[in-house]
Chain A
Amino acid sequence: MIYAENILLCIAIPLGISLLFAKNQVRRYVLSFILGMVICLLSAYISGFLSIVTGYGELKTSIFLSPIIEETMKVFPLLFFLVMFDEDNTSIVSTSIAIGAGFATFENCCYILNFGAGNLTYVIIRGMSVGVMHIVSIYALSIWFILSIRLKAFSFPNAIGALSLSMSFHAIYNLLVSKPGITSIIGYTMPILTAILLSFLRSRLLPVEEEENT
């Protein structure tokens, strides 16, 4: 049993105070990071509630329901940011990365406090997999949203489709790592490989808007 709310307060207070001294992009990044942690806590509440209501239990909830809940929760602040502010691509991408990083950090903190951090190898693997997975899924989503909005192709079905894709990615990861063995090794390497692929493709994807608009 851990007190997740207390952990959140403990991490968020210094970050919140640092906002007083930070400016512009840094302030936005830190704020989005805190938001990511809050969303992680809210997702855990919803997952816990659904786990009891559906009777799935902890394992099945984390495999089958959590991807849907977590990705949906993560997309709300990103959508709010996109709809309310007309920002450049870099701001949108850095906000989405901060939300993902905040989410992953808080989830890892809770996990380590719950199960211990004695095994360094596993802790590193977890950081490289879950941590990267949350960032990659929302990063891909932000690229999709940027392209769609800038090219006036943004629509409700389009957004839901992109969200479903990030849910699928998350769900496959959770499924693969749910049992030890070769599948979990594939699962752990999947986020980092996708991150490499996305960072490689980004420079080729985002300039599209300039070409299509000219």
Chain B
Amino acid sequence: MGIAGLIADLINLLVLLVILAGLIRMILRGRREMTVIFYIFSTASLSFSYIYWLVYDAMWPQERLVFAANEICEWAHFLMCGTVLAYMFKSITRIDWGEVFGVTILVAVNVALWIAWTGEWLQDILTGLCIAYWAYRLAVVLKESKSSSLKEWCGLLAGFVIALGLQVASFFKGAPVDALYLASFLILAIIVVIIHIKTIRTLVRAEEYEDYRRAFCLACLIVILTGSGMYMSSEPYYTIFLCSMGLPYIYSYIAMRKGADLK
């Protein structure tokens, strides 16, 4: 891990620990809501991931094992974020098979690419399954909460598919790999920046609980897209995505805290 990655990891961990302290403070001050409690567990698991990774890298710098516990921490985080969304929108009980199909295809392509890059098929499939659960929950609630218009959805999907396509193209013999990686990074980065702006705007203009709930969902979408960008990028693009990983957690914390005040 480079020094930039190390600093980014430390900053992200610090952000998560501050958020965790804030969430626990909410509980201690009487805001005993299930979404907050589930989110505490979710944030704790991601903090564990960063802690494990930093300690592991310091203690066993030369060892790269097939199975590391920081991946288990990430699975816990993905599944628990899905649970937070499921509980936040507990009125939605139906299964949307269209969303299931769409999410499965996108995640399957991602997983196939990860396996092609790393060869670690077991944890890539398991990571994919956990992300798929979260992404499915997110897709359903984003649709239900009308967080985005149909046009925005199509744009997001098209951009993401093009970015994936460019990554796939980089596997062909004689392909301009560097240019394809750059193009893929730029497309994903533009999408993520647009959703950052949309989330901040939603948070600033929020007046009701529903608005904060919508902002929380958009923050989750940023995490998934930034995570996908990280997993499919090499240095320096990986570090750029990693550096921005703390921001959506700040948005989600603000959304949860202010939303709890209004509830």
Whether B83 lies near A212 (C-beta < 8 A) is: no
Contact among A158, A167, A208 for B33, CB-based, below 8 A: A208
B172 to chain A, nearest CB (A): 35
CA distance A201 to B32 in the complex (A): 11
CA distance A68 to B33 in the complex (A): 30
Name the segment of B52-60, B112-120, B197-205 touching the other chain. Answer: B52-60
Say if the beta carbon of A13 comes within 8 Å of chain B: no
Given known A-B contacts A172-B55, A204-B32, A153 and B87 have beta carbons under 8 A apart: yes
Residues of A within 8 A of B51 (CB): 172
Whether A164 lies near B55 (C-beta < 8 A) is: no
Report, as a range, how many residues of chain B touch the other chain. 35 or more
Say if the beta carbon of A151 comes within 8 Å of chain B: yes
Residues of B within 8 A of A165 (CB): 41, 44-45, 48, 73, 76, 80
B171 to chain A, nearest CB (A): 30
Whether A161 lies near B45 (C-beta < 8 A) is: yes
Name the segment of B63-71, B95-103, B181-189, B223-231 touching the other chain. Answer: B63-71
Q: Which of A140-179 contact B (CB under 8 A)?
A: 144, 147-148, 151, 153, 155, 157-158, 160-165, 167-169, 171-172, 175-176, 178-179
Whether B48 lies near A157 (C-beta < 8 A) is: no
Whether B67 lies near A64 (C-beta < 8 A) is: yes
Residues of B within 8 A of A172 (CB): 48, 51-52, 55, 69
Say if the beta carbon of B49 comes within 8 Å of chain A: yes
Q: Kindly report which residue of chain A lies nearest to residue B35, judged by CB atoms.
A: A153
Whether A207 lies near B32 (C-beta < 8 A) is: yes
Residues of A within 8 A of B79 (CB): 157-158, 160-161, 164
Q: Interface on chain B toward A: helix, strand, loop, or mixed SS? A: helix
Say if the beta carbon of A52 comes within 8 Å of chain B: no
Whether A175 lies near B32 (C-beta < 8 A) is: no
Residues of A within 8 A of B44 (CB): 165
Q: Kindly report which residue of chain A lies nearest to residue B79, judged by CB atoms.
A: A161
Q: Which of A162-208 contact B (CB under 8 A)?
A: 162-165, 167-169, 171-172, 175-176, 178-179, 183, 201, 204-205, 207-208
CA distance A97 to B58 in the complex (A): 33
Contact among B24, B58, B78, B87 for A201, CB-based, below 8 A: B24
Contact among A56, A67, A161, A204 for B69, CB-based, below 8 A: A67
Q: Kindly report which residue of chain B lies nearest to residue A159, judged by CB atoms.
A: B79
B175 to chain A, nearest CB (A): 36
Whether B80 lies near A171 (C-beta < 8 A) is: no
Return 25 A-B CB contacts under 8 Å, by A number. A60-B65, A64-B67, A68-B69, A151-B87, A153-B34, A153-B86, A155-B86, A157-B82, A157-B130, A161-B75, A161-B76, A161-B78, A161-B80, A161-B83, A163-B76, A164-B73, A165-B45, A165-B73, A167-B76, A183-B58, A201-B27, A204-B32, A205-B37, A212-B33, A212-B34
